Amino acid sequence: MANLILASSSPRRRELLQQLGLDFSIYSPDIDESVFENETVEDYVKRLAETKAKSVLVRYPTVNILAADTSVAIDAKIIGKPESKQHAFEIWSLLSGRKHEVFTGICVANHEKIISRVVCTQVEFQKLSHNDMEDYWATGEPLGKAGAYALQGIAAQYIPRIEGSYSNVVGLPLHETVQLLKAVKALN
């Protein structure tokens, strides 16, 4: 087993972490991802990342654990994954022609230290027509994606600008992740 475990089943997080050339294993914990009453988006993603990391650390106490959770928010409201075509259209109608925020909570934990951070990136969506939404839904890409889109995929054509970390929107802000790994001495 590697000295680093990614506490996530996300293929996007795995690909991003591989870009750094790190050797790691994967173990995805099963945790309750319900939002607490009056919980801010920042607190929500940080809590989930920390809960995932601590859960895996109990199982593997001698290694470094990296966990993350990403949520899309607009008007301080968490926008989840689409449950249906109608739900995806509702999400896109809300995002259409506006800026929204993507928050990722990152947590790195080992037997000595647990540290976490929240990264925020602003994403601007163009005004979407009904045909845009129909065409995008037909690709299948929106399924299982927070905010019902994938910046690294077909949806890029609808996004004229982002402010902040591109990799954060994909699911793991790499710069900040490396800084946390160094802080717990998981990297030199």
Residues assigned a catalytic role: 69
What is d(CA 22, CA 70) in angstroms, rounded to the nearest whole number? Answer: 21
User: Beta partners for 102?
Assistant: 72, 121
Stated as kind and residue range, the H or E segment containing 67 is strand 64-74
What is d(CA 102, CA 69) in angstroms, rounded to the nearest whole number? Answer: 10
Give 129: exposed, middle or buried? Use CB within 10 Å, 0-12, 13-18, 19+: exposed
What is d(CA 157, CA 79) in angstroms, rounded to the nearest whole number? Answer: 21
